[in-house]
Amino acid sequence: MQTEVELLNTSKPRHIAIIMDGNGRWAQKRLLPRAMGHRAGVKTVRKIVEFCASEEIEVLTLFAFSSENWRRPKEEVSLLMNLFFSTLQTEIDRLDRNNIRIHFIGDRSAFSEKLQNKINQGENQTRNNDGLNLVIAVNYGGRWDIKEATKSIAESVMLGQLQISDINEEAIRKRLSIADLPEPDLFIRTGGEKRISNFLLWHLAYTELYFTPELWPDFDKESMKKAIEDFSTRQRRFGHTGEQINNKLQNLK
């Protein structure tokens, strides 16, 4: 858990969470198949991961495939799965060499055994790295996450390990994905849509939101710098008044 002081400090976000949207439109604009947009999107992922590692950001969470993306044409779904596998195949060693620790969140049971093995390998191989935490959300949905936490609470109650009167926010929080990492400070969505699309619902409660019309394949280090710059002008209040926050920040100096 972050301290209050850490949460109020907007000089640099500790955790950035991104909805990487706009691959399809990027390709369509160029009269290319959507697949080319997804391929271009992978290149952006590489650049942004490198940027976050070099800027010593602690956590980068990327929404790669939502629990609703299965609704896409089956050719596109299978292309995304193949691209996901081949990207992991080529990138895991490089991430490992760069001291990056990979985590996956989402329901992985829906994936092929081959893909599940790759995911597990990525997590195991990078387990001891203490640089950037790269969280990939695949077959992830914020509602799924809350549902899983609810099941876990029900189980604990049934086993007599938890009293109903002890169910509080902390009991829920610690059962959600990435409970051991700081909550997102900055949320970025590319592609122009202004919605959360079932991403980290619980975790985004007090995250600073940033929307940009740039399509994901066009997003780059400069765009990231702009988003971080914008974040640094925000005042996080968490329900307090602006005056209270100014006083708290003043006392820190």
Catalytic residues: 21, 69
Candidate residues 10, 14, 15, 19; the one interacting with ligand IPE per rule CB under 6 A: 19
x/- string (CB under 6 A) for ligand IPE, residues 177-196? --------------x-x-x-
Question: Which residues of 111-212 form beta strands (DSSP E)?
Answer: 133-140, 186-189, 208-211
Q: Say which residue the tokens 């209270």 belong to.
A: 244
Q: Which amino acid is at 72?
A: R
Residue of 88, 86, 79 lying closest to 49 (CA atoms): 88
Structure tokens at 180: 């051991």
Q: Which residues in the 71-110 window bind ligand IPE by CB under 6 A?
A: 80
Give the residue, chosen from 24, 106, 141, 184, that forms a contact with ligand IPE under the rule CB under 6 A: 24
**Closest approach of ligand IPE to the CB of residue 55, in Å:** 22
Minimum Å gap between C-beta 217 and Mg ion is: 12
Give the residue nearest to ligand IPE (CB): 24
Tokens matching residue 155: 């189980």
Question: Among residues 233, 236, 181, 218, which one has the least CA distance to residue 23?
Answer: 218
Q: Smaller CB distance to ligand IPE: residue 73 or 242?
A: 73
Nearest by Cα to 210 from 218, 198, 225 = 225
Helix (H, G, I), strand (E, B) or coil at 211: strand
Question: Quick one: which segment of 18-26, 49-57, 164-172, 227-235 binds ligand IPE (CB under 6 A)?
Answer: 18-26
Q: Applying CB under 5 A, which residues contact Mg ion? A: 21
Q: Which residues bind ligand IPE (CB under 6 A)?
A: 19-25, 63-66, 69, 80, 191, 193, 195, 197
